[in-house]
Structure 1
Amino acid sequence: MHENTEFRREARGVSYTEYAAGYNLNRPPRFVVVPAGIGFFHITEQATGRVKGFRREHTEACALARHLEN
């Protein structure tokens, strides 16, 4: 049985590395990277929690989140 993944969508699992480093301090990020299992990351819309994409590598997931921001 597949375990519940809702707990992974809490703020503690959100990747704010680039936001904290000054990537875009004018507004909070619209899309965030959330761990979604072993070797998977979801790119979710922060306001709704909807998954907009996924990647196996964290760096690729961050790149997709940046792309979706524009």
Structure 2
Amino acid sequence: MHENTEFRREPKGVSYIEYAAQSFNRPPRFVVIPAGIGFFHITEQATGRVRGFRREHTEACALARHLEN
């Protein structure tokens, strides 16, 4: 794992949180976190476990929405 990944998992600038809060009216289970140059982790918010990753932010958000269902 990248040595700088841990401090990037803070929920600063996570765009999916605002989207999910508006559309589902409940806290999201999965969030998109920047994890390096050109990589995004889809993380379970309750446990912090990484459930997947994508290179494109839009694809990462789509996967997070898919995992919500």
Larger Rg over CA atoms = 1
Could you give the per-residue CA deviations for residues 34-69 of structure 1, whole angstroms, max 9, x where no partner exists?
Answer: 000010000000000000000000000000000000
| RMSD, aligned α-carbons | 1.4
List runs of 5+ in structure 1 lacking aligned partners. none
Could you give the per-residue CA deviations for residues 1-49 of structure 1, whole angstroms, max 9, x where no partner exists?
Answer: x4321111112143324125x2211x10000000000100000000000
Aligned length: 67
Relative to the length of structure 1, the TM-score reads 0.85
Indicate if the aligned counterparts of 1:13 and 1:35 stay in contact, CA closer than 8 A: no
Indicate if the aligned counterparts of 1:42 and 1:54 stay in contact, CA closer than 8 A: yes
List runs of 5+ in structure 2 lacking aligned partners. none
Moved over 4 A (4+): none
The percentage of counterpart residues that share the same residue type is 82
Indicate if the aligned counterparts of 1:41 and 1:58 stay in contact, CA closer than 8 A: yes
Instruction: Return the alpha-carbon distance in structure 1 between the equivalents of residues 57 and 11 of structure 2.
Output: 17
Structural mapping, 1:1-70, within 5 Å: 2-15=2-15, 16-20=17-21, 22-25=22-25, 27-70=26-69
* Structure 2 letter corresponding to 1:53: G
